[in-house]
Amino acid sequence: MNKLSTLFALAAFSAVVLAAPVRADEVKAGDLVISQAWSRATPAGAKVAGGFLTIENKGTAPDKLVAVSAEIAGKAEVHEMTMDNGVMKMRPLDKGLVIDPGKTVKLAPGGNHLMLQDLKGPFKEGEKVPVTLEFEKAGKVAVSLDVKGVGAQAPSGGGTMMKKMPDHSGMKM
């Protein structure tokens, strides 16, 4: 293979790799659009898993994510990350997560996330985990988390709406 065809082969390969992941379906609920819902495969015996997704508010009034539940989890919460004496900690968002009108809120590793606890079984890569989000205005919304590989940092094919989280960079859950 000459240099040029190697280049073409590489380009074709990259295109396939970049295009391969299927974008998570968008779920619309009232003024909200929820997309890119995903999680990670859990190691054997793991009892907790994080859930990540993007919520866009296309309306003119704020809404609030107040609760989350899942069949597979005995307990599920919306968590935030906070700095406590230089140590990153997570805790439940007691007052819920506000999604202002016209804004997009991203739950992502190192930042706000869904916390699924007391898992009844493992998350396997390629599976979908159904969860129910509960919003103050939009009500209950069923979404499914695409289970990615153990070390996945983000679903491919998106990422343009990354919210800035100064205190959360480099954080692992």
Q: Is 166 helix (H, G, I), strand (E, B) or coil?
A: helix
What does residue 142 show for φ and ψ, rounded to 5 degrees? -90, 130
Residues contributing to the site for Cu ion (CB under 5 A): 79, 90, 115
* Residue 113 C-beta: closest distance to Cu ion, Å: 6
Looking at the Cβ atoms of 33 and 90, the one nearer to Cu ion is 90
User: What six digits make up the tokens of 144?
Assistant: 């499914």
* Residue 114 C-beta: closest distance to Cu ion, Å: 8
Looking at the Cβ atoms of 33 and 173, the one nearer to Cu ion is 173
Looking at the Cβ atoms of 74 and 101, the one nearer to Cu ion is 74
d(CA 108, CA 165): 10
Looking at the Cβ atoms of 40 and 79, the one nearer to Cu ion is 79
**DSSP string over 27-89:** EEETTEEEEEEEEEPPPTT---EEEEEEEEE-SSS-EEEEEEEETTEEEEEEEEEEEETTEEE
Looking at the Cβ atoms of 79 and 168, the one nearer to Cu ion is 79
* Residue 49 C-beta: closest distance to Cu ion, Å: 10
Q: Is 159 left (phi over 0), alpha (psi -120 to 50) or beta?
A: left
* Residue 81 C-beta: closest distance to Cu ion, Å: 8
27 and 34 in contact (C-beta within 8 Å)? yes
* Residue 164 C-beta: closest distance to Cu ion, Å: 20
